[in-house]
Structure 1
Amino acid sequence: MSTGSAATGGLAPPEDVVELRVHGVSTPAAEQMAQTPVQVAGDRNAGFYRARPSCAGTDRTDTVEVYRWSDLPSGTMIRTLSMVFLLPFTLLNVAVWMRPGNPGTDAAVRALCRVLGLTLTALYVLTAVGVALDLTAWQCMSSPDCLSGRSWLSWLGGRPTGLRLTALTAVPAAAIALIWWASTRPGRTFNAFRPPESTRSGHPLSTVGQWDAEPLMGRLRSIHIAAAFATLDASLLAARTAHAQGPAPATIVLTVATGAVLATCVVLVCTPPLIERDPTDPRLDGIARALRTTAIGLTIVVVVDVLAAPADWREEGGLPGYAPTLTWLFGTHAVLLAALVSVTLRPRGQRSGHRRPRYFGAPAAAAAGAGIAVAFSAELVRRVADLLDRNASAGQVAIRPPPAFTWAIYGFFRAVLITLVVTGLVVLLTRRGRTRAATAILARDFPNPPPEAVARLRQVRQAIARARSTEWLPPLVVVYAGLGGLGAATTVIDLLGEHPGDVIQRYAQVPAGLIEFGIGLGSQLISATVLGLVIGGIFAYRTPGFRRRVGVLWDLATFWPRAAHPFAPPCYAERAVPELARRITYLISRGHLVVITGYSQGSVLVAATILQLAPRVSDRVALLTHGSPLRRLYARFFPAYFDDDMLHEVGDRVGWRWVNLWRDTDPIGSWTFSGHRPDTPPTSTGPSATVDRRLPDPAGLVAPPGDSVPPPIKGHSPGESDEAFVAATRELVVRLRAGQPTGPGDDSPPTPS
């Protein structure tokens, strides 16, 4: 078969086999993965590239086709950098999908995460309010010292307070409009991608790619925009209520109306059937839009009320009501996280085969997202306060951020410091066990190493030991999340008027200077974290090798459809999975057999895709995965969606024509059913025991003849050019053509014929 005949739609001979490769995180583009590529489907964001046909007469594939999807999660540099600042929303969205395999708690987990999402939206608005209204309009513009030398602010200096607040209300309003606009754009690209037909799989993972998330996101987006404008209204009304002449009757009515809007938002997100019901129901869309319109109209009335207020305002201190609102918001975070822990530990409706430690995934991700959001907000407000306060001296009124932000910075510093200490202890305490296991593996793979390979043997042992450190990632995440939740709880101490330094000095007998140094260091740490994320985003966009190391976490997060927060980045699986299902169905309809090869994150996309295929299609498909995180990462963090039932269903659908290649030096990919390690017995029987093939890495300890360096340690690198990959592909082609369901069960790659 030729490439041209496939591209033009000619019917191919029934025995032609297409090898469809799905790459991982930032693997080389199609131009590097295939020879003379021609795009045969898709667009510039994602597409299928056809390679030059292989030589005829082989037992491998007749045609290689590559699905390139790497631009879907990131794309342009601006979009990549924007994702850095959307990280809290992303983590909260992931928390919904990290719930345990416990149907009885699904609704409660979704409701709690969505309410927590509303608080993050409120925090986003309150951060803009703190910068524009509290620090600038209220504190700085009422101080001649702060306005001195700042012509860009002095034009409002001396103006009535109501006018200043009204003018600078444009800043938080613009921030709301910006994130509203940004959240509506990405989803439009994926609207046209739907599976070719409904799947018969009953597993929860089969909904990925079939679920039209845009109606839900449209409703959630309207609710969050309503909550955002209501938060802005509440901030303005709190200041108006503290007016020297007291609140006017109109102000009281507006306050009640604002509270009603906020309460309605909470009720709506706590009622999943109301917002998740029929996506085409116009009544539900109308309710959400009406609430959003009401909130926007209410904001206009509130601004007019503030502008019309008399000129005699009490302007001492910070913006009235702002600091207590922040403190209560952080306390609400702690309460919601505690409720989330309680719900996820509930045994009702528990499915068998899930261990209790996995249940901490949802609260851990939610706590991490909330903690990062609070830290980012606190640092931004604190930096702006320092900028405005640069001319303050003895006897002058200082521009100060709310004390709750100081507590937040202290909590972030404490969480990071303790987590780093615990991480160091874990690395030290587990080193001996990891090294012992690595030594046993090397003793099996290289029983008689030559004397000149001692140094190389040490490098390989260290690589295997480092790769096994991934097993300790989940408990460390739980440690950080727990400390972050504790930090949110301790912020409530601010309601007593206590400063972190005073409390610690009183009860821990720590010198005040050391405490202030720690808080300042925490502030610098947050700034360094933000800067590091920005630099990391730039390098991840520009440097494929760097992105391959750090991008797996981002691609793991954005694999999931948005379900908790509408401002999170869009899910690339909403396009990739249906697009893959359509392409495979098309190839089968043209008379091809298909061998799907999925590397790293690509293996996750492939597993979800196979659950979308009709039986008449999956019966003509074989599967090869390599560097796959299905067991090591996804089964640990998403037990409700990646479990043994799902893996066995994927195997059954392809007739167990499935080979998974993995290496002990790989910190991300691993075995799927049974490790077949030299130091452990097989843990699976039946057809699943034939899936995993452990590849010794490296191929040798000394330089082979004709080479000057020893074979490299490949770790998580792709292996399309490896002999083991070629042999596994050839074996699957033979089994696919013969209709054989199983293959050899040893832990070594098949010998090429």
Structure 2
Amino acid sequence: RGEPVLGALAGLLAVGCAVSVSFPDTWRPTALLDFALPALGLVAVTAIVTIAENAITTKERPIGIMWDLMCFLPRAGHPYGPPCYAERVIPELRGRVVGWLETDLLKGKIVDGRDIRTETQRADDELAALGTAQRRKVVLSAHSLGGVLAVSCLFTLGADAKDGLRNVGLLTYGTQLRAFFGRFFPELFGGEVLGVRKSQGPSLWAADPWLKQVNRDQTAPPVVRPGDGPEPTLRELLTQPDGEIAWINLWRRTDYLGFPDDSYDDNDIDRGADEFGPTRYLVKVATHPGYPASAQYMTALRDLARKI
């Protein structure tokens, strides 16, 4: 519920600033200000202490998902933000995928460890490795924020592959692609970009903050796009010639940071995962980590290997 709470606090701050600027001094509630200023100071100190205590006593990142959101975009988009990890990860991941897929195409083109291809030949080999059937295949397995990085990598791979990615599959689990990134960065991960249904924000007052979205997904029609847009969606990039989508997302209701990528209703991308951990002496509820230990993970991996 942090998102709606933050929005409410921002609204109150805006109202307070408007009142302080618009009304004369004689109309200002000085008694209320005398109470509010120390209270705001106490709230700020409490927040700083909580973040510092979390950073010192646990291995988690400060303020969790908010830190991920702040660190995703390059500094060209927000120069005063923290360093961006995507600037390094995405090009490296892209290079590894292409390097693996085009290995069989390099026979006779590497002499004494030196690549003798021209830039045009390299581009043609990369396009062939991505867009035509090859012996080698790649399945990107991405957890949580890794789903955002994997999707970004796939879009760079599919920039020139007009017929889609024939040798690449995507397995995501515990992600926030639709619930958070799709709403905060709609031009990068919105419904029209991914080819999935849109999501609305959580509720502040409902017992289940996402219940309204669950009910909405029961009646929302599936996304059907003819493929005539200026750029292919992620769904289109991963759709194979036989019509199957080489993209599977695992999620579970006991995961506080894992959401469906398309819909809470039945669809061809999202699948449920075990809500209890591996069999042990004591029963443990499965939350955000541990997806690879579930039976559904290996099933999804085999299905993707078959599809591509």
* TM-score normalised according to structure 1 size: 0.29
Distance 1:573 1:588 in 2: 22
Rate the CA distance shift 1:565–1:674 in 2: closer, same or farther, 3 A: closer
- Of 232, 251, 273, 1:695 maps to 273
Rate the CA distance shift 1:565–1:654 in 2: closer, same or farther, 3 A: closer
**Partners of 1:596 and 1:621 within 8 A in 2:** yes
Q: Could you give the per-residue CA deviations for residues 270-296 of structure 1, whole angstroms, max 9, x where no partner exists?
A: xxxxxxxxxxxxxxxxxxxxxxxxxxx
Partner of 2:282: 709
Partner of 1:553: 66
Q: CA deviation at 1:538?
A: 3.4
Q: Could you give the per-residue CA deviations for residues 438-479 of structure 1, whole angstroms, max 9, x where no partner exists?
A: xxxxxxxxxxxxxxxxxxxxxxxxxxxxxxxx5xx5443332
- Of 503, 512, 519, 2:28 maps to 503
Partner of 1:644: 191
Distance 2:181 2:276 in 1: 26
- What does residue range 392-431 of structure 1 map to in structure 2 within 5 Å? none
5+ residue gaps, structure 2: 105-135, 196-232, 240-244
Q: CA deviation at 1:560?
A: 1.1
Partner of 1:590: 103
Q: Could you give the per-residue CA deviations for residues 158-207 of structure 1, whole angstroms, max 9, x where no partner exists?
A: xxxxxxxxxxxxxxxxxxxxxxxxxxxxxxxxxxxxxxxxxxxxxxxxxx
What amino acid is the match of 1:653?
L
Report which structure shows greater RCO (CA 8 Å, sep ≥6).
1
When the two chains are superposed, the root-mean-square deviation of aligned CA atoms in Å is 2.8
Partner of 1:625: 172
Distance 2:185 2:84 in 1: 16
Distance 1:721 1:479 in 2: 39
Partner of 1:581: 94
Question: Larger Rg: 1 or 2?
Answer: 1
**Partners of 2:273 and 2:294 within 8 A in 1:** no
Distance 1:479 1:504 in 2: 21
Distance 1:474 1:516 in 2: 28
* TM-score normalised according to structure 2 size: 0.66
Distance 1:724 1:632 in 2: 22
Partner of 1:727: 299
Partner of 1:99: none
- What does residue range 189-588 of structure 1 map to in structure 2 within 5 Å? 474-492=3-21, 498=25, 503-504=28-29, 512=31, 516-539=34-57, 543-544=58-59, 546-547=60-61, 550-563=63-76, 565-588=78-101
Q: CA deviation at 1:565?
A: 4.3
Q: CA deviation at 1:699?
A: 6.4
Rate the CA distance shift 1:624–1:565 in 2: closer, same or farther, 3 A: closer
Distance 2:145 2:167 in 1: 23
Distance 2:170 2:77 in 1: 33
Q: Secondary structure at the match of 1:708?
A: coil
**Partners of 1:664 and 1:696 within 8 A in 2:** no
Matched, 1:653 2:237: yes
**Partners of 2:274 and 2:294 within 8 A in 1:** no
- Of 254, 259, 263, 1:665 maps to 254
Q: Secondary structure at the match of 1:720?
A: helix
Q: CA deviation at 1:661?
A: 0.6
Rate the CA distance shift 1:477–1:518 in 2: closer, same or farther, 3 A: closer
- Deviating beyond 6 angstroms after TM superposition, the runs of 4 or more aligned structure 1 residues are none
Q: Could you give the per-residue CA deviations for residues 64-109 of structure 1, whole angstroms, max 9, x where no partner exists?
A: xxxxxxxxxxxxxxxxxxxxxxxxxxxxxxxxxxxxxxxxxxxxxx
Q: Percent identity?
A: 30
**Partners of 2:173 and 2:258 within 8 A in 1:** yes
Q: Secondary structure at the match of 1:570?
A: coil
5+ residue gaps, structure 1: 1-469, 506-511, 677-681, 683-688, 737-753
Distance 1:516 1:639 in 2: 41
Q: CA deviation at 1:555?
A: 0.9
Rate the CA distance shift 1:528–1:609 in 2: closer, same or farther, 3 A: same
**Partners of 1:674 and 1:692 within 8 A in 2:** yes
Q: CA deviation at 1:561?
A: 1.9
**Partners of 1:599 and 1:718 within 8 A in 2:** no
Q: Secondary structure at the match of 1:690?
A: coil
Q: Could you give the per-residue CA deviations for residues 479-524 of structure 1, whole angstroms, max 9, x where no partner exists?
A: 2221122233234369x5x39xx8315xxxxxx4x75344323323
Partner of 1:674: 263
What amino acid is the match of 2:154?
I
**Partners of 2:274 and 2:295 within 8 A in 1:** no
**Partners of 2:277 and 2:294 within 8 A in 1:** no
Q: CA deviation at 1:595?
A: 0.8
Distance 2:192 2:252 in 1: 24
Q: Could you give the per-residue CA deviations for residues 24-51 of structure 1, whole angstroms, max 9, x where no partner exists?
A: xxxxxxxxxxxxxxxxxxxxxxxxxxxx
Rate the CA distance shift 1:718–1:636 in 2: closer, same or farther, 3 A: farther
What amino acid is the match of 2:18?
A
Distance 1:531 1:474 in 2: 20
What amino acid is the match of 2:51?
L
Q: Secondary structure at the match of 1:717?
A: coil
Distance 1:690 1:565 in 2: 36
Higher helix share: 1
